[in-house]
Amino acid sequence: MLKKNRVNFIQDKLQQLYPTQPIPLDHNSPYTLLVAVLLSAQCTDKRVNTVTPALFKLADNPFTMATQDVDIIRTIIRPCGLSPKKSKAIKRLSEILVEKYHGEVPENMEQLEELPGVGHKTASVVMSQAFGVPAFPVDTHIHRLAQRWGLTNGKNVTQTEKDLKRLFPKDIWNALHLQIIYYGREFCSARGCDGTVCEICTTCYPNRVKPKITNKT
């Protein structure tokens, strides 16, 4: 199957399966989404959603969070892993939001990436899911699927993001990002499919017999 045909098939199949795309992380504002995405690094969304109710009961805005003791934050978020680093980042980014942005999360990629604990992927998620700005957050899971489906040969998420943005219309980036996540969890997980099992993999590569090994640095 030609790449153009793969792109069209994948786009149509994902839209058929996931016509609506609820945001996986529970939140009620750009700030709580930002904190939840930060917590999701090397942690499942499900685990984050069990932790954030207690955290947001303590503080659901940067003004209140900035006044909290970092040890209290760390105790609450410990189940998410990397709690010493994440707790310091949450407190400091809250202080910066108060000091520089009047307590508002900036609707700007560069300003988001300057916040402690906020990398490009986290900033992209906030821009797309909180503000509706077209972005294509790519993590290692989307990177793996994009390689299985022949959409990129990139060795890192940066190149994969560029390739996906080039292949798909800008107006579907936000939805497609979530659709790929949902499909990967349901049908094309790291253990559930090696590039030779799920419908998208077998349709795009019907003659593939060996597992697809993800290229990464």
**pLDDT tens per residue across span 88-144:** 999 999 999 999 999 999 999 999 999 999 999 999 999 999 999 999 999 999 999
Single-letter amino acid code for the residue at 124: S
The pLDDT assigned to 216 comes to 73
The H helix count followed by the E strand count for the chain is: 12, 0
Cα separation, 198 vs 126, in Å, equals 30
Residue 82 in this model has a pLDDT that exceeds 80: yes
How far is Cα of residue 201 from the mean position of the Cα atoms in its chain? 22
DSSP assignments along 120-145, one per residue? HHHHHHHHHHTT--------HHHHHH
Mean of pLDDT values over 190-215: 93
With cut-offs at 50, 70 and 90, classify the pLDDT of residue 213: confident
Residue 9 pLDDT grade (very low, low, confident, very high; cuts 50, 70, 90)? very high
**Positions marked catalytic:** 121, 139
- HSE (side-chain half, CA atoms, 13 Å) at 11: 17
pLDDT digits (tens, 9 = 90+) for 10-54: 999 999 999 999 999 999 999 999 999 999 999 999 999 999 999
d(CA 15, CA 110): 31
Over residues 72-82, the mean pLDDT reads 98
CA atoms lying within 13 Å on the CB side of residue 160:
26
d(CA 150, CA 155): 13
217 has a pLDDT exceeding 60: no
pTM of the model: 0.92
- H-only helix segments in the chain: 3-17, 30-39, 45-58, 62-65, 70-77, 83-101, 109-113, 120-129, 140-148, 157-167, 173-186, 199-204
Fold of the 30-129 domain: Endonuclease III; domain 1 (1.10.340)
3-20+136-204: which CATH number, 3.40.50.720, 3.30.420.40, 3.40.50.2000, 1.10.1670.10? 1.10.1670.10
Residues 9/1, Cβ–Cβ less than 8 Å? yes
Summarised one tens digit per residue, pLDDT across range 133-167 is 999 999 999 999 999 999 999 889 999 999 999 99
pLDDT over threshold 80, residue 178? yes
Q: Domain coordinates of the chain in residue numbers?
A: 3-20+136-204, 30-129
59-63, 74-78, 144-148, 190-194: the lowest-pLDDT one: 190-194
